[in-house]
Chains A and B, each alone.
Chain A
Amino acid sequence: MASRPELQAPPEVFYNDDEARKYTSSSRIIEIQAQLSERALELLALPNDGVPKLLLDIGCGSGLSGETLTENGHQWIGLDISPSMLDVALERDSEGDLILGDMGQGLGIRPGVIDGAISISAVQWLCNADKSCHEPRKRLKAFFDSLYRSLARGARAVFQVYPENLAQRELILGYAMRAGFAGGVVVDFPHSTKRRKEYLVLTCGPPSLSSATPKAKGEDEESCSDDESSDDEGNQTVSISDRHRPRKKQKLNKKVKGREWVLKKKEQMRRKGNVVPQDTKYTARKRKARF
């Protein structure tokens, strides 16, 4: 199997007719999408009042995840960047409304009207720059800011994601927090390489009891044997190889930069809107040799 899909091609290219076809023909993909969506819906923790809600499915693709929403009685609007995937959704007679759009351009939705949002294996795509005009940070910001606005107060957004590494997860979460979301990450089956699944569980509005991060599944299990064959498709492969954009070679600077330089850099990052630790007497202090 190939490396992470995000590193192979932009989503609208990767999810072409062939890839989209799998979402109707592979029982394994269908089952996984259903499982992930069920769990995402559960983590949305909608009030148990029997009232159908208006939900968003971001990166709705073939509409498999949406089917879960429909089965649970909800109305939904799905957004996806891949016409091939949306064609499959049409074929499957998806009950939700479909929109061809790019979440990285921000959601064009009126403020406060959406009761909840889910997204299955899609948000990590935002961390790639697929076009010269793409700046992942700007796209993440546009996405989370607009999502935050569109949600009703107290509503949740749950994203199942496959971050490439810790830094990427922090990056995504950081922009969610800056947009105003409270919440955190739920890792189901953290000890299993195969069954491990990450969900960002975000609540719109200030932290409260309801925004406490829910409990993960399988957290207390010992590393299990991973014999469940039903899991994952494409996305889970851990081997990481970059698509023709090699990681920046780490520069080995001989000359040590001084405190002034560090303070200047930090100021620059602050102006860009990044979260930067406070300047203290420890900033850029020399470490003891034994470090």
Chain B
Amino acid sequence: MRLLTHNMLASNIKGVANGFPLKIEVGQVVEKHVDLNPEFLKNMFAKLDYKVLVEASKTMGYADLPEQAEPSMLESEDFLRKLNHALLELHLEEGALVCPETGRKFPVNKGIPNMLLHEDEV
């Protein structure tokens, strides 16, 4: 699972008012190269919760993203590369996502988060 997906996912448990962002527990992180695509990053930037991305990438061991960002920075290739790396190249391979409200853990195995809810959580 990439941080792009983490930035979109929320805990869906019944009664949870704000299930975003899910806390990341790292077991193993892998990196896979992704060609830089400025158009995609520009499209996504408006929808990203950038702060959450910065925190998540730190948890994953990458601390090079600037703390603050604004659209004008999308003209800088240096920034785009960092954004590309954080958003698309870092994968949470093993670990867990934790619901911020309930502490319920969603395990991540082989890169796939298990978001299935138990009967009483629906």
On chain A, the residues within 8 Å of B7 by CB distance are 110
On chain A, the residues within 8 Å of B42 by CB distance are 51
B113 proximal to A (CB < 8 A): yes
- Indicate which residue in B8, B12, B111 contacts A106 across the interface (CB closer than 8 Å): B12
The reply to whether A99 and B8 form a contact with Cβ atoms under 8 Å apart is no
A107 proximal to B (CB < 8 A): yes
Query: Which residue on B lies nearest to A138, using beta carbons?
Result: B122
Interface residues of B (CB under 8 A from A): 1-2, 4-5, 7-12, 19-20, 37, 39-40, 42-44, 47, 49, 88, 110-117, 119, 122
The reply to whether A53 and B116 form a contact with Cβ atoms under 8 Å apart is no
On chain A, the residues within 8 Å of B8 by CB distance are 54, 77, 109-110, 113-114, 150
On chain B, the residues within 8 Å of A101 by CB distance are 114-116
Query: Which residue on B lies nearest to A74, using beta carbons?
Result: B40
The reply to whether B47 and A99 form a contact with Cβ atoms under 8 Å apart is no
6 contacts between A and B (CB under 8 A): A52-B39, A97-B1, A97-B5, A110-B10, A113-B47, A152-B47
- Indicate which residue in A75, A77, A108 contacts B10 across the interface (CB closer than 8 Å): A108
The reply to whether B4 and A100 form a contact with Cβ atoms under 8 Å apart is no
- Indicate which residue in B10, B47, B110, B116 contacts A90 across the interface (CB closer than 8 Å): B110
Q: How far is the CB of B101 from chain A (nearest CB, A)?
A: 12
Query: Which residue on B lies nearest to A89, using beta carbons?
Result: B112
Known interface pairs A51-B43, A97-B1, A97-B5. Does A109 touch B116 (Cβ–Cβ under 8 Å)? no
Q: How far is the CB of A31 from chain B (nearest CB, A)?
A: 26
- Indicate which residue in B10, B43, B110 contacts A52 across the interface (CB closer than 8 Å): B43
Known interface pairs A52-B40, A98-B112. Does A105 touch B122 (Cβ–Cβ under 8 Å)? yes
On chain B, the residues within 8 Å of A97 by CB distance are 1-2, 4-5, 111
C-alpha gap A102/B12 in the complex (Å): 11
Which secondary structure characterizes the binding site on chain A?
Answer: mixed
Q: How many residues of A contact B (CB 8 A)?
A: 33
The reply to whether B20 and A100 form a contact with Cβ atoms under 8 Å apart is no
The reply to whether A99 and B4 form a contact with Cβ atoms under 8 Å apart is no
The reply to whether A109 and B9 form a contact with Cβ atoms under 8 Å apart is yes
On chain B, the residues within 8 Å of A112 by CB distance are 47
Query: Which residue on A lies nearest to B5, using beta carbons?
Result: A97
> Which of A109, A110, A115, A131 has the most B CB atoms < 10 Å from its CB?
A110
On chain B, the residues within 8 Å of A131 by CB distance are 119
The reply to whether A100 and B12 form a contact with Cβ atoms under 8 Å apart is no
The reply to whether B112 and A86 form a contact with Cβ atoms under 8 Å apart is yes
C-alpha gap A100/B113 in the complex (Å): 6
C-alpha gap A50/B113 in the complex (Å): 30
C-alpha gap A133/B122 in the complex (Å): 10
- Indicate which residue in A54, A75, A108 contacts B9 across the interface (CB closer than 8 Å): A108
The reply to whether A100 and B115 form a contact with Cβ atoms under 8 Å apart is yes
C-alpha gap A107/B12 in the complex (Å): 7
Known interface pairs A51-B43, A100-B113. Does A133 touch B119 (Cβ–Cβ under 8 Å)? yes
Known interface pairs A99-B5, A109-B9, A109-B10. Does A90 touch B44 (Cβ–Cβ under 8 Å)? no
The reply to whether B117 and A102 form a contact with Cβ atoms under 8 Å apart is yes
Query: Which residue on B lies nearest to A150, using beta carbons?
Result: B8
The reply to whether A54 and B4 form a contact with Cβ atoms under 8 Å apart is yes
Known interface pairs A99-B113, A100-B113. Does A105 touch B44 (Cβ–Cβ under 8 Å)? no
- Indicate which residue in B19, B44, B116 contacts A102 across the interface (CB closer than 8 Å): B116
Query: Which residue on B lies nearest to A12, using beta carbons?
Result: B116
C-alpha gap A105/B111 in the complex (Å): 21
